[in-house]
Amino acid sequence: MRTVIFDLDGTLADTSGDLLAAANHCFRHMGHGDVLIDGQDAAVALRGGRMMLTHGLKRVGEYSEDTVFEYYPMLLEAYSKAIDTHTRFYPGALEAVDILRGAGYGVGICTNKPEGLADLLLTRLGVRDQFASLVGADTLPVRKPDPEPLREAARRAGGHPDLCVLIGDSDTDRNTAKAAGVPSVLVTFGPSGDDMAALEPEALLHHFDDLPELVTDLIGAAA
């Protein structure tokens, strides 16, 4: 079976608002107030919790690895309690997933979000059952850009790892697909969209309406 594997944050959904809120919870606890700014720091948010803490601490001139380590669990706890308050799927994302599944492709997720949080988010949003696989940052001993999480997501979705395509939004996704020897499609509607062309993926995605045709062009029809 051919499979279409999606990154989650910044690809299927804009999760930046809830991520930034969790980071700012930590900064308020430190006495700094809201350090990160909704919208302006969206690209930072989509690089993960440690990156948000690092970026914010450097902004206030108090960065240390120990502080990031200390507050990361607090960030995860705050995020888990309000994981779906501001998160929204990008226009056409779920419709494209339905079309791909209906055409016979296996559909899964490979994310560097911890698996438990990714599962919680998708469940809260009512779409967990639409994805045959979910591989997170801690599912395996390695994470993206190592190719094995992508390969495992394809296998768990019922497919052959050589017959998949990765839909993502970052150099991490581009490098993961390249290491796995499969094509990547990078979205241009996320916070870092203007930078995607320079990564030279096999295709750029400007709207999810175009994804089914791109998938067929890159890995062939499902059947």
Q: How far apart are CA 114 and CA 80, in angstroms?
A: 11
Residues 165 and 69 in one domain: no
Residues 118 and 160 in one domain: yes
Residues 116 and 22 in one domain: no
The mean pLDDT of 139-152, rounded to a whole number, is: 98
Residues 51 and 157 in one domain: no
**Domain ends where: 81, 113, 128?**
81
Cβ burial of 156 (10 Å; 0-12, 13-18, 19+) is: buried
Task: Give the closest residue to 191 by CA, choosing from 7, 18, 43.
Answer: 43
Residues 204 and 121 in one domain: yes
Per-residue pLDDT band at 222 (split at 50, 70, 90)? confident
Task: Give the closest residue to 149 by CA, choosing from 111, 122, 191, 96.
Answer: 111
Residues 148 and 170 in one domain: yes
pLDDT single digits (tens) 44-56: 999 899 999 999 9
Residues 8 and 23 in one domain: no
183 is in which domain, residue-wise?
3-14+88-219
Cβ burial of 221 (10 Å; 0-12, 13-18, 19+) is: exposed
The mean pLDDT of 26-53, rounded to a whole number, is: 95
For the question of residue 7 being annotated catalytic, the response is yes
The pLDDT value given to residue 192: 86
The pLDDT value given to residue 111: 98
Residues 35 and 98 in one domain: no
**Catalytic residue, candidates 7, 18, 41, 173:** 7
Per-residue pLDDT band at 106 (split at 50, 70, 90)? very high
The pLDDT value given to residue 107: 98
How many domains does the chain divide into? 2
CATH number at residue 124: 3.40.50.1000
pLDDT single digits (tens) 150-174: 999 999 999 999 999 999 999 999 9
Give residues with Cβ within 8 angstroms of 70, minimum separation 6: none
Name the packing angle between helices 171-180 and 148-156 (round to 10°): 80
CB 2 within 8 A of CB 158: no
The pLDDT value given to residue 133: 98
Residues 93 and 191 in one domain: yes
Residues 95 and 25 in one domain: no
